[in-house]
A and B are shown apart, each in its own frame.
Chain A
Amino acid sequence: MKRKEFISVLWSSSLIGSACNQFSLQPISVTINGPAHHLGHQLRQPSKLVAKETKNIKTLIIGGGVSGLTTAYFLKKNGYEQFLLLELNDRVGGNALAGNNHITGYPYGAHYITIPDANDKPLISFLHEVGVIVGFNEQQLPIINEEFICHAPDERHFMNGIWNDGLIPHQQISEADRQQFQRFFALMHEYKLSMGKDGKHAFTIPVQSASMDEKWLQLDDVSFHDFLTKNGITSGALYWYINYCLKDDFGGHAQQVSAWAGLHYFASRRGNAANAESDAVITWPEGNYWLVNKLKKDLQEHIINNSLAVEVDDQSRDTILVKVKQEHHTFNVKANQVVMATPHFINKRLLKQPPEAFNKLTIESSPWAVINITLNADFASTRGIPLSWDNIIYGAENLGYVHAQHQAIRLPNQDTVITLYYCFCKQTPALERQKIQLWNEDDWKTFVIDELKQAHPNIKHYMSNIEVWIWGHGMVLPAVGLKKKLLKIKHEYSSKRILFAHTDYSGISIFEEAFHQGLSAANQILHAHQG
């Protein structure tokens, strides 16, 4: 520090104030929240609820996550108006919900997308429409709005007492480890180039465009971990990194996730942009809720919030009867067509008489906690690379934290918000759910401080608020064998009247998949309507 700077802070009374504050026993407030889970139990006894009236509509969408919203968005865009969308929460967004306080918006779940694949024309034109893509260069590469490309410095990791650049620990590991990293990425690159006999990429997003060759599909039968050990991957540091990535996207580790899904994480990205690296991310302070706001912009009169679908009865020939519960009110919706943009475990309960194969399919998902912490920005003054967008702690169980204000274009305040991500996937999802259900405010506080203290030993002195958001069922866990089961279900249970549009049925839960789930359903509806 320079002399002048020293004096300038020395005399600043505000600092004297804040130094004292840090040592007064400033209470840290803790709140625990989640998607309207208090409504969940209502699903168990739909027959107890008596509907007073019946609404008629041509198409009903159940679920206002990205999938359902995308269906609605494309219906509307194509001039199809006869639809309603039901959402159980007080706002649409699903896993891409966000919160905000006096400082900034911050995510409760999904928080970034990647550079779109050049072959994904519908996604590219959507992103263009909403201003994420601002134009195209001579080679037709999309020009991404610079405000939304992750600003520098984007990533850092904490290892051996210091924050280092990027997510991969190049400097801090042994030569043997380094070679393993190289070898792993070379292997992934090979798979990235692989094509099926059907002329499709072996691994690509959306997964519906991937090759169906048995050669690739059989990778669904082994875990990614087994696949890696077979390929000579042994490095502990590398496994930590791989597990970090898998947990972050799939909510499960290499032993749980299939090789087919693991390869989709590491070998499917072919995004290319005029003004960003192909591995860049696109993000907003409030995360993907920014996209949700764009999707829902013109849908006001179609969305009904605070409405829980409790039963879907498709026994009658020409209409489907959906029972809907609001806080003080139960009604029926009679629709010609229903889009179930809801997770599979809910769909099993909603359908009055689900076919057996459908009922037998279990789609697992780990519970998550997304914890937004309001704290004094000085907390970050640590050795090495300064506070970045994504900050991960090597060796930790958590998935690191994201700095919510990173993408802000205004000068920062003294206080800021970081979002800590934690996927509970050591044991089975059910056991993990049971465990955290019992935690109270103090347990969470201790948990958060413990998770961060390795990199920030004094962090508790800087915190003022902890907002815990719990996802009992996070995203679909692409477990060994799931892909094949999904293909079978699709075969056996698809009707023109009930359409399933949820990332659970992609087997991989990311924005792009939700978008295509929703788009496919919209296309089918529009098609039927026209035809």
Chain B
Amino acid sequence: MDNKQAVDKPLLLLLSVFVVATCGLIYELIAGTVASYLLGDSVTQFSTIIGAYLFSMGIGSYLSKFFKDKLLNWFVKIEIMVGLIGGISSTLLFTLFGLAVSFKVILYALVGITGLLVGLEIPLLMRILEHRYEFKDLVSKVFTFDYIGALLASIIFPLVMIPHLGLMRTSYLFGLINISVALIVAFKFSKELNNHLSLKLYGFLSALLLLLGFIFSNYLMTWTESLVFNENIIYSCSSPYQRIVLTQDKKDLRLYLNGNLQFSAVDEYRYHEALVHPLMHQHNYKKILVLGGGDGMAVRELLKYPQITSITLVDLDAKMTDLFSKNSLLQQLNQASLVHPKVKVINTDAFQWLKSQPEQFDGIVVDFPDPSNYAIGKLYSTLFYQVLYDKLADSGMVVIQSTSPLVAPKSFWCINNTLQFAGFKTLPYHTNVPSFGEWGFHLAAKHQPRLLTYAIPIQTRYFTIDEFNKSTYFTPDMKVDTKEINKLNNQMLVHLFEQEWSVYQ
């Protein structure tokens, strides 16, 4: 019997227990990490993954009794399989998340298979070694190595592996280690193994695959991310407030904040011209305030008006304004607007800042993210608009991005009502931005904002006074009768916005 001969080199086999245990736990931690990012609530994810893993290990141990002979063969085979599956697991999860519908099934299947295989290994090994040691020594040795391996994994995973290698490389690396052990065993026990050549071949092929994966994991990462964005990522970073991703392909440059498209270089001019020129045309506004708009595009349009003496831009996120002040590609896009001497950038919370500062402004551009949660909903409330009203010069005017009147008409008109409730006279309008769809804005002032009557010589690609005047007309599908007002104590807008956009998606 092969297992009787195999006991020559027991230490090697015990070391392989150690490796198997380490690798197994690492795969499990990887699955837990991915799952907690994906499904939120890391604690739940980790506990269910750990539970599933341990349970499948149990199944593996149970099934081990059905392996009657060629135990060493099976041991090597299983070790190769674990290494291969574990090694590619993170890539698999990343890729499949973009493609597959029911990601959870795949996740738990993967955890289950890994657990099952690892669960098979220990009993098999114990049986291989059963005549080498006395039973009590055997048990004590095998489990000691097993648990030390687990300890090692749990320490190096968060402290060393994730910070230095990242998820993908970590899994490739441990896959490789796993297979190396299988190969070493295969070589040392060549004689005891049936068909050792084919085992070695499998081992080498798998190792090669994982090695390639390890080397090219950067490309793989970009590739998997592009499966989601369908574009090339040229820059990404996280600030305390959001995830900033810039993508580029042949013609287009796009900015995503938390995965939501902010602009596409191909048609952003439409959005920003529509945002700024109706406000500035025909008015001799000198002192301008921009709230949000850290990309500097609105400021670029504003700077076309030489009479402006100062532009104050307040954006919460310093990472964002830094990026758009310093990156040369982005400077081209916003024409270095953020470093213009007339422009002052302040990184702080817009609402708090506005409330506590004493000045009034002639023109105010309000370009906040859509009201998709309660925190942002406060920036569209009667209270916010009342503060805005106080900080606006009597002859001044405000423009507010107001989400899509086509997708979310109730939300759009709720913003209108809210502005009016705060004392503003309004003039709503909309424009088509292909990458966004039909987009809406409000002009608001202490006097009734009017249509434009004469053009002034400003270079624009899209904006004309005729186009603007037309855009104040709303077709019936963009009109709804709603009386809702967004107050802090009802947060009506967030409810409407969620209703309307969820249908759309």
Taking Cβ atoms with an 8 Å cutoff, the residues of A that contact B are 1-16, 19-20, 22-24, 146-147, 149-154, 275-276, 280, 378, 381, 386, 409-414, 457-458, 461
Contacts and interface: CB of A to CB of B under 8 A. Distances in A.
Nearest to B37: A10
A98 to B, nearest CB: 19
A153 to B, nearest CB: 7
A496 B44 CA distance: 65
Contact of B33 (A19, A153, A275, A413): A19
29 contacts: A1-B39, A2-B505, A3-B97, A4-B260, A6-B38, A7-B259, A8-B258, A8-B259, A10-B94, A12-B243, A14-B240, A16-B33, A16-B162, A19-B33, A20-B158, A152-B374, A152-B488, A152-B489, A276-B489, A378-B41, A381-B41, A409-B355, A409-B378, A409-B383, A411-B241, A411-B316, A412-B375, A413-B240, A458-B44
Interface string B484-505: 0001111100000000000001
Contacts, number: 118
A5 B242 CA distance: 11
B383 A152 contact: no
Interface of B: 33-34, 36-44, 46, 94, 97-98, 158-159, 162-163, 225, 228-229, 236, 238, 240-241, 243, 245, 256, 258-260, 316, 349, 351-352, 355, 374-376, 378, 381-384, 386, 487-491, 505
Given A10-B37, A13-B238, A20-B159, 6 more contacts: A16-B163, A19-B42, A146-B487, A409-B383, A411-B376, A457-B43
A23 B157 CA distance: 11
Contacts of B37: 6, 9-10, 15, 19
Contacts of A13: 238
A1 B352 CA distance: 31
Contacts of A276: 489
A154 B489 CA distance: 8
Contacts of A151: 374, 378, 488-489, 491
A150 B489 contact: yes
B229 A7 contact: yes
Contacts of B316: 411
Contacts of B383: 146-147, 409
A386 B98 CA distance: 28
A443 B502 CA distance: 46
B488 A15 contact: no
B487 A275 contact: yes
A408 to B, nearest CB: 9
Contacts of A3: 97-98, 228, 259
B259 A146 contact: no
Contacts of A5: 258-259
A35 B106 CA distance: 56
A306 B316 CA distance: 41
Given A409-B355, A411-B376, A149 B488 contact: yes
Mostly helix, strand, loop or mixed at chain B's interface? helix
B6 to A, nearest CB: 38
Contacts of A458: 41, 43-44
A281 to B, nearest CB: 10
Given A22-B42, A152-B489, A15 B162 contact: no
A158 to B, nearest CB: 16
A378 B242 CA distance: 15
A381 B40 contact: yes
A14 B97 CA distance: 21
Contacts of A153: 374, 491
Contacts of A457: 43
A10 B488 CA distance: 32
A147 B488 CA distance: 7
A11 B94 CA distance: 11
A354 B185 CA distance: 93
Nearest to B494: A152
Nearest to A7: B228
A146 B260 CA distance: 31
A4 B236 contact: no
Contacts of B40: 1, 378, 381
A386 B229 contact: no
Which 7 pairs, one residue from A and one from B, show the smallest C-beta to C-beta distance? A4-B259, A458-B43, A410-B349, A8-B259, A152-B491, A12-B238, A20-B158
A8 B489 contact: no
B225 A461 contact: no
A528 B491 CA distance: 51
Nearest to B353: A410
